[in-house]
Amino acid sequence: MIINSKNIRLETIEKLLINFPFLSSFFADNNLNIVGKESLTLEEYFATFDEDEIEDQAIDSENTIFQISEFIKQMQEFLGQNEDKVQTITILPGKDKSGAKENFDKLEIKQGEIICIVGPTGSGKSRLLGDIEWVAQNDTPTSRKILINNEIPDTKWRFSSSDKLVAQLSQNMNFVMDLSVFEFVELHAESRLVENKEIIIKKIIEKANDLAGESFAPDTPITSLSGGQSRALMIADTAILSKSPIILIDEIENAGIDRKRALNLLLSEDKIVLMATHDPILALIGDKRIVIKNGGIYKVIDTTEQERTILSTLEEMDKILLSYRTKLRNGEMLNKEEN
């Protein structure tokens, strides 16, 4: 449904409140009593006011209906309920640090894909993220152009404080707030005005514990979480509560969490995952990998079936390393014959 003053004026107040429950606050804040009048359309409702009421309350029905439509649109954007979903991000080539054209024609990234970004430190991985985050239009040092759903994007992706294209998960997660895990997630949930808040909070903490090497309780102070636990909590929180369609994870291999489960959680929430990594296992888990060199995109490589076979071998090796790590942590002796 396209929200504007023309098509909501004939909707009943009852239906509007069912579809947009936050409207009750608008009526209350504007001293508009709707009790017993829920079966009326907005047009019929404002027609019930006599001239004295209109004058006393300074009621302008046309302007108020317009304000209601704008309030709905703004709240939908804030809550991530707008219909303007990101299905694809397209990167059109720019230039590297030497001014040479990037070595690809067009890169389309689809919802639900994992794209790995590889390259030496300082090669330009952060610049690529910056171009995507700010929806570059040939106006950044790389001269790249970003399309959303194959179109020049709405300016909201660049300038809106509530609509963020990219949510970043950095390597270091240091909490300084004096809150429990439950209170921290509750604060974020309340800022998003989510329904069934208790259920969502429980789900986030459960998913975080699935990822973390060692579980933690809802009443655990967030300042006492380990690096891996902090990263697990933020990944679960971002996957479930963040409305940003693109997630960037920086070197998840150093997080001390279940990497594969973390990626599966993000993908289950219809995110596009961009992952900067030096880990060959993670690089091969991705659908594609972007190779950055000298500030530009040097190659875009689709993961091949042969590489998937190599990935299986690497994962078996990783299991062996994990078992050795677990035994060492538990104070056990290693035995070569066991593996």
The domain locations on the chain are 5-79, 88-329
Q: At what angle do helices 181-191 and 227-241 cross, to 10 degrees?
A: 20
Q: What's the pLDDT score for residue 163?
A: 62
Q: Which amino acid does the sequence have at 245?
A: P
Q: Which amino acid does the sequence have at 240?
A: I
Q: What's the pLDDT score for residue 276?
A: 83
Query: CB burial class (10 A; 0-12, 13-18, 19+) of residue 336?
Result: exposed
Phi-psi region of 193 (alpha: psi -120 to 50; beta: other; left: phi over 0): left
Q: Residue 166 forms beta bridges with which residues?
A: 246
Q: What's the pLDDT score for residue 254?
A: 55
35-71 per-position pLDDT tens digit:
898 899 888 988 898 888 888 878 888 888 888 888 8
Q: Residue 242 forms beta bridges with which residues?
A: none
Helix (H) or strand (E) holding 297: strand 296-302
For 229, phi then psi, to 5°, come to -65, -40
Q: What's the pLDDT score for residue 79?
A: 62
Q: What's the pLDDT score for residue 91?
A: 96
CA 225 to chain centroid, in Å, comes to 23
Q: What's the pLDDT score for residue 255?
A: 54
pTM: 0.66
In this structure, is the dihedral angle defined by the CA atoms of residues 231, 233, 236 and 240, taken in order, positive or negative?
A: negative
* Neighbour tally for 178: CB within 10 Å: 9
Q: What's the pLDDT score for residue 182?
A: 94
Q: What's the pLDDT score for residue 3?
A: 67
For 193, phi then psi, to 5°, come to 50, 45
SS3 label, residue 145 = strand
Pinpoint the alpha helices (H) of the chain: 5-8, 13-19, 23-29, 42-47, 51-56, 61-79, 125-133, 156-159, 181-191, 197-211, 227-241, 259-268, 280-285, 305-329
Q: What is the CATH number of domain 88-329?
A: 3.40.50.300
SS3 label, residue 123 = coil
In this structure, is the dihedral angle defined by the CA atoms of residues 129, 231, 246 and 310, taken in order, positive or negative?
A: positive
Residue 292 and residue 128 in contact, taking contact as beta carbons nearer than 8 Å: yes
Euclidean distance between CA atoms 316 and 232, whole angstroms: 23
Q: What's the pLDDT score for residue 99?
A: 95
For 137, phi then psi, to 5°, come to -130, 60
* Neighbour tally for 27: CB within 10 Å: 18
The parts of the chain modelled with pLDDT lower than 50 are 1, 83
Per-position b or e across 44-71, b if 16+ CB within 10 A of its CB: ebbeeeeeeeeeeeeeeeeebbbebbeb
